[in-house]
Amino acid sequence: MSQSVNGWLQRDAELLWHPYSSLAEPSPVRLVRSADGVRLQLDDGTGGTVEAIDAMASWWCMIHGYRNPVLDAALKRQVDEFSHVMFGGLTHEPAVRLGERLVEITPEPLRHVFFCDSGSVSVEVAIKLALQYQVARGNHGRTRMLTVRGGYHGDTFAPMSVCDPVNGMHSLFTGALKEQVFGPQPPAGFDRPDTDPELQAWAGELAALAERHAGEIAGIIVEPVLQGAGGMYPYSPACLRVLRELADRHGFLLIFDEIATGFGRTGTLFASEHAGVDPDILCVGKALTGGYLTLAAMLCTSDVAHTVSNGPGGALMHGPTFMANPLACSVALASIDLLLSQDWASRVAAISAGLSAGLAPAAELPAVKDVRVLGAVGVVQLGGPVDLPRLTEAALRRGVWVRPFRDLVYTMPPYVCTDADIATIGAAITGAVEEAG
Ligand SMILES: *Cc1c(COP(=O)(O)O)cnc(C)c1O
């Protein structure tokens, strides 16, 4: 490294925006020296190195770990072929093969694939497709989306409009954001049966809302079973059956945003499988490339694809410059094949059990309001906002990198974590919350 770590950090602080950051009061960042397997090597600020298990899997993406030999090889092979070509008028093997694989592994009715650069853009495209679908059906007033409170669907404008209005800070963008129809958040807890009274009350409110706005609504969009960045909040698969029924009754399209939940994270390959409900449109991203490159995909049914294609526009009106980037498609294909070549479900179940055991003692701490685990997701919710710098530091001293938000300290570890790594993560989160919560 040609400069002292403080040189880089100083220049970063003056120059670069980080996610949700201020340049007036930049919050501390740490310099990554290297990353291998599930471990990050961070500069400790005095020229030494701190090693930490990445309990975030780089924001839920890096499921097979850093410098994975299979993924590295796939990427290098494609670099030696070609790194990018435009997707207008051209195609390539990595795109076709990845498209086929996605259709194979996602719910059966999904037959067609649109590749784009990021999760947010895939949600933009999904919403655009739903609007075009309604126009093609002659339903001209249907330009709004129905969703529930507590969701997160990305940071560009259409996704932002369906994020939780409070957490998503809609007040900052009043007048610029489309006003969507928000139902109440589903009642908390994965295990509620269809007959649960709170769930039925929720279903009743949603049904009334859908009825009242039926002529304005193009589609329903939710994160199935687990709301992620909106609050790390699991809810019952039975709610998805309610939404499917409402969509069918009123002619809405049902969009599942599985950008966070896809590829095994909640214990099934896609979270919709918990409910046995098929969406009309599906968004995937994040772990799609095993965390190597930015890529997302929107999948839809033949009915949706053909209705839009035969509609007034005659086409789906979207086409990003880096659509179906060959490097990203190659590494995504390698990542999916690597996942499916293993007993990933047992691995996720073992991680789940390890997180439940490791985080259970946190439930006894006075600062803690709730502890919950679903699949390879572990969450400790505090009684108030996290002291981010103190908690990060306390976890790092215990060998673990976490990035809490609001009142939530959570982990979505790489699937390649050993049982010992998972125990370290559980102990570090519990210890850090005890010290700094
Ligand atoms: C992260 C996320 C997005 C946005 O994806 P980006 O790649 O950050 O644009 C959308 N929806 C969900 C559920 C997500 O977790």
| Mean pLDDT over each residue of the chain, to the nearest integer | 96
Neighbour count for residue 166 (Cβ, 10 Å): 11
Is 202 within any annotated ligand binding site? no
Is 49 within any annotated ligand binding site? no
Nearest-angstrom CA–CA distance, 382 and 369:
5
Q: Residue 2 has what pLDDT?
A: 46
337 pLDDT above the threshold of 50: yes
How confident is residue 265, by pLDDT bands cut at 50, 70 and 90? very high
Q: Residue 359 has what pLDDT?
A: 98
3 pLDDT above the threshold of 80: no
Worst-scoring range by mean pLDDT, 41-50, 111-120, 260-269?
41-50
Residue pair 88/77 in contact (Cβ under 8 Å)? The answer is no
Nearest-angstrom CA–CA distance, 64 and 58:
11
The overall pTM is greater than 0.95? yes
Neighbour count for residue 335 (Cβ, 10 Å): 26
Which of 191, 139, 132, 131 is closest to 162 using CA atoms?
131
Q: Which atom of ligand 1 is nearest to the CA of 59?
A: 1
Nearest-angstrom CA–CA distance, 315 and 311:
8
| Token couple for 170 | 């809609």
Instruction: Note the helical H segments in 341-404.
Output: 344-359, 388-397
Ligand 1 centroid distance, CA of 125 (Å)? 13
The mean per-residue pLDDT over the stretch 215-223 comes to 98
> Which residue out of 286, 292, 405 has the highest number of ligand 1 atoms within 8 Å of its CB and is therefore the one to mutate?
286
Is 4 within any annotated ligand binding site? no
Residue pair 279/255 in contact (Cβ under 8 Å)? The answer is yes
Could you report the per-residue pLDDT of 279-297, keeping only the tens digit for each?
Answer: 999 999 999 999 999 999 9
How confident is residue 27, by pLDDT bands cut at 50, 70 and 90? confident
Q: If you take atom 15 of ligand 1, which residue's CA is the nearest one?
A: 260
> Hey, which residues does 400 pair with through a beta bridge?
53
| Token couple for 41 | 């090597």
**% residues pLDDT > 90 (the chain):** 94
User: Which residues belong to the active site?
Assistant: 20, 152, 257, 286
- Pocket around ligand 1 at a 6 A CB cut-off: 118-120, 123, 152-154, 223, 228-229, 257, 259-260, 285-286
Q: Residue 48 has what pLDDT?
A: 87
> Which residue out of 145, 152, 292 has the highest number of ligand 1 atoms within 8 Å of its CB and is therefore the one to mutate?
152
Alpha carbon of residue 169 to chain centroid: 19
Worst-scoring range by mean pLDDT, 17-26, 152-161, 236-245, 394-403?
17-26
18 pLDDT above the threshold of 90: yes
417 pLDDT above the threshold of 70: yes
Q: If you take atom 8 of ligand 1, which residue's CA is the nearest one?
A: 119
